[in-house]
Amino acid sequence: MSTGSISRTPICKLNDRELPYLYIKRDDLIPYCFGGNKARKAQLFFEEIDNGDYDTVVTYGSSHSNHCRIVANMAAARNMDCILISPTEVSDNTYNSIMMDLFGAKLITVPVNEVHDTIENTIAKLKDKGHKPYFIPGGGHGNIGTRAYVQCFDEILDYEKENDIKFDYIFFASGTGTTHAGLVCGQLIHKTCHNIIGISIARKNPRGRDVVLESIYDYLNESKISYDPEDVQNKTVFIDDYTGDGYGADSEMISQIIQKSLISYGVALDSTYTGKAFSGMLDYVKKNKLENKRILFIHTGGTPLFFDDLNKWRRK
């Protein structure tokens, strides 16, 4: 069964008193298993899987992983085996991990420093037994993941043309880097002058930004697109001021932003990704006096994580 191709996700204006030109692109509404950027990426990985004779999908992620939830669903829908390699350090129960179980994914939990070898051994063993495994890097990393967000950037340009608007700034949560890389590659391909600002949810500079740059160069080289390295450097803005404790941080301020977003816009954010990025964006806008700029926030999904947060606020 095919998941079908993703039609363009909506861009909506948020009614915000302080930010009159704040828009949101709802990638959380991609119509597959609570959507999100991992659904946009996995869709392309599964196009490749469907064109091969693979019988098992292997990937990596924690019990909180939106990527693992989506991949496990897409594999289950095809009656394919799915093996998730997962770090012991983040293995508590979440709505995502409950769904991974429901999809029948096989979980291999090992300490994070054994993940690399476990992936290699698992794939080697499967091949020995005559299986045809397909490996998807954690978070949907790699050129396929980057391509998904080049396509998202194309959607943004289409929206701008049709609605006679130009966004000055594009903000989003930057994690493993290909969402960020895809948007910057889209910009380099179309030579636009948007300010693309990735708000890091965990990694610090310079490593966090270097990983994004690596993904950009990989994609441009593979696609044989010529570039000016200085231009690439200038366009890759990775802000690491809002990481808090990294994955799973839950500061009081982020909780408040999540509640405000739900109340004021009816939009659910989570404390690991979109809540952190949205709250970082608001602070960045204030500090740089961008209140009257045209701003687009990309909602990268993670709705099941919103419900994990909501559970913590349950009345005792």
Ligand X SMILES: *Cc1c(COP(=O)(O)O)cnc(C)c1O
- Judged by CB under 6 A, which of 147, 180, 194, 276 binds ligand X? 180
Size of the site for ligand X (CB under 6 A): 18
Comparing CB distances to ligand X, the nearer of 57 and 269 is 269
Q: How far is CA 178 from the centre of its chain?
A: 8
146 binds ligand X (CB under 6 A): no
Q: At what angle do helices 143-163 and 178-190 cross, to 10 degrees?
A: 50
How far apart are alpha carbons 118 and 138 in whole angstroms? 13
Q: Does residue 247 sit in helix, strand or coil?
A: coil
How far apart are alpha carbons 298 and 31 in whole angstroms? 16
- Judged by CB under 6 A, which of 24, 25, 36, 95 binds ligand X? 36
243 binds ligand X (CB under 6 A): no
Region near ligand X per CB under 6 A, out of 118-126, 127-135, 175-183, 243-251: 175-183
Comparing CB distances to ligand X, the nearer of 99 and 126 is 99
DSSP state of 114: G
Report, in Å, the least distance between residue 221 CB and ligand X.
19
301 binds ligand X (CB under 6 A): yes
What does 28-49 look like in DSSP terms, one character per residue?
GG-SSTT--HHHHHHHHHHHHH
300 binds ligand X (CB under 6 A): yes
> 267 and 257 in contact (C-beta within 8 Å)?
no
179 binds ligand X (CB under 6 A): yes
Burial of 67 (0-12, 13-18, 19+ CB in 10 A): buried
Report, in Å, the least distance between residue 222 CB and ligand X.
17
Residue 192 contacts by C-beta under 8 Å, 6 or more apart in sequence?
A: 157
186 binds ligand X (CB under 6 A): no
Both tokens of 314, joined, read 């349950």
37 binds ligand X (CB under 6 A): yes
Comparing CB distances to ligand X, the nearer of 292 and 311 is 311
66 binds ligand X (CB under 6 A): yes
271 binds ligand X (CB under 6 A): no
Comparing CB distances to ligand X, the nearer of 59 and 178 is 178
CA-nearest of 15, 139, 2 to 71 is 139
Report, in Å, the least distance between residue 161 CB and ligand X.
26
122 binds ligand X (CB under 6 A): no
CA-nearest of 311, 291, 294, 251 to 275 is 251
265-282 burial, b at 16+ Cβ within 10 Å, e below that, comes to: bebbbbbbbbbbbbbbbb
> 240 and 204 in contact (C-beta within 8 Å)?
yes
244 binds ligand X (CB under 6 A): no
- Judged by CB under 6 A, which of 35, 87, 133, 175 binds ligand X? 175
Q: What is the sign, positive or negative, of the torsion defined by CA atoms of 260, 261, 266, 267?
A: negative
Report, in Å, the least distance between residue 108 CB and ligand X.
21
Comparing CB distances to ligand X, the nearer of 35 and 133 is 35
Region near ligand X per CB under 6 A, out of 3-11, 30-38, 77-85, 119-127: 30-38
Report, in Å, the least distance between residue 179 CB and ligand X.
3
How far apart are alpha carbons 219 and 147 in whole angstroms? 8
Comparing CB distances to ligand X, the nearer of 134 and 238 is 238
Beta bridge partners of 110: 87
177 binds ligand X (CB under 6 A): yes
Provide the binding-site residues for ligand X, judged by CB under 6 A: 36-38, 66, 139, 173-180, 273-274, 300-302
